[in-house]
Structure 1
Amino acid sequence: MSFVVGLTGGIGSGKSTVADLFAELGIVLVDADLVAREVVEPGTQGLAAIVEHFGAALLQPDGQLDRAALRQRVFNNETERQWLNALLHPLIRSSMAEQLANAKSPYVLWVVPLLIENGLCKDCDQVLVVDAAPELQRQRVLARDKSADADAIMARQLPRDERLQYADQVVDNGGNLADLKAQVQFLHRQYLSMAAQKRL
């Protein structure tokens, strides 16, 4: 089994940027958001079940899932949200477990926005939290999607101080890219050393 570093952080904290910097160093990423898209690709059992439950109106002309329409359907409907989670979570977990087991880099970065909320820390050797001030998170979310309700999304996530309590390491993403790269390179050396120790 690979040495697993769980990467998490609130929305707009910059998880993807940090993950990409690790990938540039040759580290395999297992990204929950990417896997969540893969399990509802055309031809998958995930998409077939969604269409059967919600109807074909949630399909785009090319047969892809209209993720925005699905989000709207479930965001304020707890029953539908629970149904969707019950369908997708086992598919996503199974796919992620397979990718984690097959990762060939010295350690693997497991990128999960709700790593802590979903109780996945226990499956990680280390937990790395990407941290940014709430005002900065809000700015980044709105820069990406003007219509996003950043406050509502942030309210559904773990409070910042609570998230930090789970961290073995923290990346401060409030500065510039050069600073971020330096932090990632420092952590990379640490994780290589820890992973080598685990293999002994």
Structure 2
Amino acid sequence: MIKLGITGGIGSGKSTVCSIFEMLGVPVYYADDRAKQIMTANKEVKKAIIDIFGKQAYFLNGRINRKYIAEIIFQQPEKRKLLNAIVHPAVLEDGRKWNASQKAAVTLKEAALLIQSGSYKEMDYVILVTCPPDVRIPRVMRRNKMSKQEVLNRIQSQMSDDEMRQFADFVIQNDGQVSLIHQVLNIYKAIIKTK
């Protein structure tokens, strides 16, 4: 089995690229979505989060108060590190179990923090999706209902494309100049040849 990892900054188009891989029959593990589920369903993780952020970290219905936590971690980087130290190991283990259950020749793990979490080390290939800020910012503002400053804060808190590029085996340019489908097909063909 060939394990691919895909990463990129907020609003770069990771999910769109993943949907193209899914059309090729590649199962995708969405680490960010799983992290949200784990933070709600895993009792140990939930308790650790409450210990750090207080009971306000969760709504009365048990769902995580993402906006509250986001405000804190973007103002207090040490709390971001504590949160990541709780969530990343749980997501890594969940991803390993998911991957072991797959029958496909190629699997894909989508994670904004693929590199920062260290899970890129478990991948055979890393794909970076890049997108110009003038496209990313309005996209995230619309999708996440955030102000421009909030989006800029998120972007600045993440690794830059140049930093991530050092870990990437392939780079997909999501700038509208070259078809995403064409780029994904080229990567898929190159990877399948190595099998």
* Normalised-by-shorter TM-score class: 0.7 to 0.9
Aligned residues: 193
**Counterpart of 1:94 in structure 2: which amino acid?**
E
Question: Does residue 185 of structure 1 match 2:185?
Answer: yes
Q: In 2 relative to 1, CA 152–43 (structure 1 residues): closer, same or farther, beyond 3 Å?
A: closer
Q: How far 1:119 sits from its partner (Å)?
A: 3.4
Contact 1:128 1:168 in 2 (8 A): yes
Q: In 2 relative to 1, CA 62–99 (structure 1 residues): closer, same or farther, beyond 3 Å?
A: same
1:118-167 Cα distance to aligned partner (Å, 9 max, x none): 33332211111111112222222222233362222222222222322332
Q: In 2 relative to 1, CA 80–131 (structure 1 residues): closer, same or farther, beyond 3 Å?
A: closer
- Counting aligned pairs with the same residue, the percent is 31
SS for the counterpart of 1:115 is: coil
* Aligned 1:25-40 pairs, distance under 5 A: 25-40=24-39
Specify every segment of 5 or more residues in structure 1 that has no aligned partner in the other structure, as ranges: none
SS for the counterpart of 2:39 is: coil
Counterpart for residue 22 of structure 1: 21
Contact 1:42 1:64 in 2 (8 A): no
Q: Give the Cα separation in 1 of the matches to 2:179 and 2:51.
A: 48
Specify every segment of 5 or more residues in structure 2 that has no aligned partner in the other structure, as ranges: none
**Counterpart of 2:187 in structure 1: which amino acid?**
L
Contact 1:133 1:174 in 2 (8 A): yes
Q: How far 1:101 sits from its partner (Å)?
A: 2.2
Q: In 2 relative to 1, CA 155–54 (structure 1 residues): closer, same or farther, beyond 3 Å?
A: closer
Q: Give the Cα separation in 2 of the matches to 1:54 and 1:81.
A: 11
C-alpha RMSD of matched pairs (Å): 2.2
**Counterpart of 1:24 in structure 2: which amino acid?**
M
Q: How far 1:33 sits from its partner (Å)?
A: 0.1
**Counterpart of 1:151 in structure 2: which amino acid?**
L
SS for the counterpart of 1:105 is: coil
